[in-house]
Structure 1
């Protein structure tokens, strides 16, 4: 309690008087782009607009050279006025190729920078800066407020700096960036729902609302998938950063219940407040603290809820909702998929699945799901819920496992509920999209990197779709039992493993197989996808032995015109009778296998859809055998 009171006092001291006002300040006309809003080498008590003058706009190279390696955020919220004030300690590294004489840092255009400083010995030295508006769709307003901070000496490539920054302003719903590309206002607000409001605070971070300092070149929704690619690249680049939060919420009415920060829930503790009054007259201050921890592959998100959560399915689900009639459906769906999750991932979840019932575009951060809840039957909910519940069971510091395993479990659920053919059809449809993203290797290409390796993936098509396909392929190579045991054992090691090869080693120990060929081509590097074809099939009748039916020796040659190796099932069929052997084909080569078949063969099938390919994932050749 003393520490929380100290934090409260600190926030109240550093917060400017505007934070305590009962009515928001008058709105000002937006400043022209690339013009100074204020320029100061002495931190002001509150932002002021100085006479505008042109400034030297930073280059995209300058903006993209900054990588945040540490966030220490003291955040003060006043939801009744949609206001936020923050004192941030930032660790930033120059990951570019040139020295930087200034830093270009960005916030939402609805916020204002107040001051910057850097430590020099035992004191903080103020830094001169200017700020201006920049058009970009990394924020829901369609603009960012960019500060150009002048450094006392150039920041060399690879060097880091520690800054202290203060900023404040309002965050309300805004659909401006979507409206300017033609979206109706109501649909724009359904997608861009980030806000600070009395009934709840919802801030998703970079790519939605810049409520914390960021740095990037401008990017726009109308320019293909560049915004989503930038979000993924930023998550990957800053995944090793540390982040911590001290939060103070100044509330009116009933006290808020909890805060969800980076997917983790903590209750808000009331440190001061009025009592014995009508609800409308109540007021007070509540706090929460999240110690420093690795950021991981995410954008920092912040949600504050008013109501207490309700549990379902024996605690598997913890939901904050005003629609209690939806809980039985979610509980029943969780009970349906629970046996599959236990079988593949472990006896108990690591945490409940936290759901915030919110009418808007869904958002997910590991075991936190923000989405509208509906009272529908459990069978309808189960396919979507299995992915989210898998996050509650399984964690990894490597995104291809953290996201790929839940996607893989979704395929397993489809196989369980609809059959193997339905799961393979779904896998084929997903791989078709992946094949469009994977660059086709040039003729004669070798082992060069073509796309994104899974351990360095930043696009969802790789760390979800391809990762799930690789796990499905591993299942066919090592078998169900070995893969299940590997997932169980990996989970016991904890989510903070630093060795990207740990999962491979665990799987090899359990399966007693050398899987380096598969992990090298499919996980640690990206060599595209295999491109298989049946080159030749040669059936030969074997001499009959006694009264036993005649057997055939079927030689099958398969060509792989892709760069990565593939191990596929080769099946010889006659009616309902089949014999299957596995064949591994290295990249840019051919391989053959001989299959002994009891009976007269009439078809050969290479790959049953379990191994992703650049084109079709199943190849067949009918056999016409003339009998004497």
Structure 2
């Protein structure tokens, strides 16, 4: 009998937790005091957060999550401790693969109302790639992706999606579940885009005589004034030196708050600031050359920016040459010990990011990717640029298959203007910008971008109208299929080629193309001969056929639809052998 009583009691306790809506509250304001102790790899945070009930119902349970390597010390309401349950919560939005979750019980908070909590938490942040290793990524590879840590001589810690060093509240996400992690992080960014974050970041170091640790500089990608570093003064007490600096994100937007501590030297350029580690000075010099070389090219490709960038691009050197690059806002973190091509592509992306800010992810991230592909074309030709884009499409193609399987009612939710998955949006948008340039031509494309103003981008149709005005073309079908809705990808094949011999010599080919996908596309159709080739462009709506006529001086050997510039669900059947019939 006692057994059933205990089980019933535990079940009763579990019911409220099972019913928690972890995403009911957003955090509209952070005011944090964060102290980093490199020698102990330790982070201690005290502060206040404001939460807003975004749901339609009163809520009395609040979920607050931090990295599993941290633990909650206190949570107070109106200066008094509140009841909370601390528990482990498995989720891959943190590099450890888990979170320390506090379930806070308060008086019911009505919809759209706010509540202020005083919070305290602390712990260590060491390098941990558990979430990647768990799904089969080799440990050596995983550590170069999840490189976040507080170290003795160097520290870099990114926010949500990497390390939950500030409180968040999300449902569980797993890397083994498709794009679950990216979508969850994207939803959080959308919810928190208007949130304010103030961080008083303090660095506490041993200043005793004989201590070998170098003095470290502090940086954070402060959204109010770009990346800022240095210190506002400090104190030394009992052989411990503490220096602090205040940072203010007026609006988080799409930024991921990052703090960096390192023994940096600076290379200040007209178009960027490079923070490099002493052993990588030559890499910093190479990247400075890459920025100078890519700058004019990016302006030529995208149109020179119509105003001075709000923030100077800043690059932070990473100590391991194999570490994966990361950017957020105007801050780029990457190893400077790389080859020339990698440095040039990174420079093109960073300069495009900074010169063309936009509140829309598909514009800011998509154009940054497009700038890399376009720069590749200017250096190595169109085929190399298309190969570069194709090398980034595999995950996007898989996402499109999953999205399409959810039905047409999800087409708007998975569109470029709504989907929270940043990687998917960035990859698809890169191809969308490339296709748009092919359709309207270089002059109209550059002119439209030159006249883009983020302050005037108030509705989703702004960019469409801008490009229609410059190109004098109706682009509604293209934006509807590729931007406003997700209709998947085209699936193109040539169903017939009819050659007709002309009286004056040569042939006129009628090429019929079928698109069995739902998204329409304007694609190149090329006839190949031993002496050369020629191309015409053809619009093929979704689930339709269309034909184009191409002149040829002699009977071609092959016709091909799509040169790889248009992403497809299946590109293995794009060619058609032309056989001579007697």
What is the deviation of 1:538? 2.2
Q: Is the 8 A contact 1:244 1:290 kept in 2?
A: yes
Assess, with a 3 A threshold, how the Cα gap between structure 1 residues 380 and 304 changes in structure 2: closer, same or farther.
Answer: closer
Q: Is the 8 A contact 1:115 1:126 kept in 2?
A: yes
Q: Is the 8 A contact 1:404 1:465 kept in 2?
A: yes
How far apart are the structure 1 equivalents of 2:284 and 2:127?
31
Residue number in structure 2 paired with 1:336: 293
Q: Is the 8 A contact 1:116 1:129 kept in 2?
A: no
Residue number in structure 1 paired with 2:91: 136
Say whether residues 1:168 and 2:124 are aligned partners. no
* Matched residue SS, 1:147: strand
Aligned with 2:282 (options 325, 350, 357): 325
Q: Is the 8 A contact 2:265 2:278 kept in 1?
A: no
1:288-325 deviations in whole A, cap 9, x for unaligned? 231522x222433233445352235x543422322223
How far apart are the structure 2 equivalents of 1:143 and 1:432?
28
Q: Is the 8 A contact 1:400 1:457 kept in 2?
A: no
Say whether residues 1:505 and 2:465 are aligned partners. yes
Q: Is the 8 A contact 1:565 1:586 kept in 2?
A: yes
* Matched residue SS, 2:233: strand
How far apart are the structure 2 equivalents of 1:228 and 1:431?
16
Say whether residues 1:353 and 2:285 are aligned partners. no
Say whether residues 1:271 and 2:233 are aligned partners. yes
Assess, with a 3 A threshold, how the Cα gap between structure 1 residues 361 and 577 changes in structure 2: closer, same or farther.
Answer: closer
Q: Is the 8 A contact 1:565 1:584 kept in 2?
A: yes
* Matched residue SS, 2:484: coil
How far apart are the structure 2 equivalents of 1:361 and 1:379?
15
1:211-222 → structure 2 map (5 Å cutoff): 211-221=165-175
Aligned with 1:541 (options 496, 501, 526): 501
1:101-153 deviations in whole A, cap 9, x for unaligned? 311111223231412326xxxxx776433333334343344442222222312
Assess, with a 3 A threshold, how the Cα gap between structure 1 residues 583 and 354 changes in structure 2: closer, same or farther.
Answer: same
Q: Is the 8 A contact 2:221 2:330 kept in 1?
A: no
Residue number in structure 1 paired with 2:524: 569
Residue number in structure 2 paired with 1:108: 67
* Matched residue SS, 1:427: helix
What is the deviation of 1:404? 1.3
1:48-447 → structure 2 map (5 Å cutoff): 55-56=13-14, 59=17, 62-79=20-37, 82-95=42-55, 99-109=58-68, 110-117=70-77, 127-153=82-108, 155-156=110-111, 159-175=112-128, 177-178=130-131, 181=134, 191-196=145-150, 199-221=153-175, 225-250=179-204, 252-253=206-207, 256-261=216-221, 264-273=226-235, 283-293=241-251, 295-311=252-268, 314-323=270-279, 324-347=281-304, 350=309, 351-359=312-320, 360-374=323-337, 378-379=340-341, 381-439=343-401
Assess, with a 3 A threshold, how the Cα gap between structure 1 residues 379 and 433 changes in structure 2: closer, same or farther.
Answer: closer
What is the deviation of 1:482? 1.6
What is the deviation of 1:399? 1.2
* Matched residue SS, 1:328: helix
1:520-540 deviations in whole A, cap 9, x for unaligned? 110110000111222222233
How far apart are the structure 2 equivalents of 1:178 and 1:211?
17
Assess, with a 3 A threshold, how the Cα gap between structure 1 residues 575 and 180 changes in structure 2: closer, same or farther.
Answer: closer
Say whether residues 1:485 and 2:447 are aligned partners. yes
Assess, with a 3 A threshold, how the Cα gap between structure 1 residues 116 and 568 changes in structure 2: closer, same or farther.
Answer: same
Assess, with a 3 A threshold, how the Cα gap between structure 1 residues 507 and 188 changes in structure 2: closer, same or farther.
Answer: closer
Assess, with a 3 A threshold, how the Cα gap between structure 1 residues 304 and 538 changes in structure 2: closer, same or farther.
Answer: same
1:576-591 → structure 2 map (5 Å cutoff): 576=531, 578-591=533-546
Which segments of 5 or more consecutive residues in structure 2 lack a partner in the other structure? 1-9, 208-213
How far apart are the structure 2 equivalents of 1:337 and 1:363?
19
What is the deviation of 1:432? 4.4
Task: Provide the aligned length of Structure 1 versus Structure 2.
Answer: 553
How far apart are the structure 2 equivalents of 1:441 and 1:194?
32
Give the TM-score of the pair, scaled to structure 1: 0.77
How far apart are the structure 1 equivalents of 2:132 and 2:394?
32
How far apart are the structure 2 equivalents of 1:477 and 1:621?
24
Task: Point out the more displaced range, 610-619 or 247-256.
Answer: 247-256
How far apart are the structure 1 equivalents of 2:21 and 2:73?
17
Larger radius of gyration: 1
Give the TM-score of the pair, scaled to structure 2: 0.83
Please provide the CA RMSD for this pair. Answer: 3.6
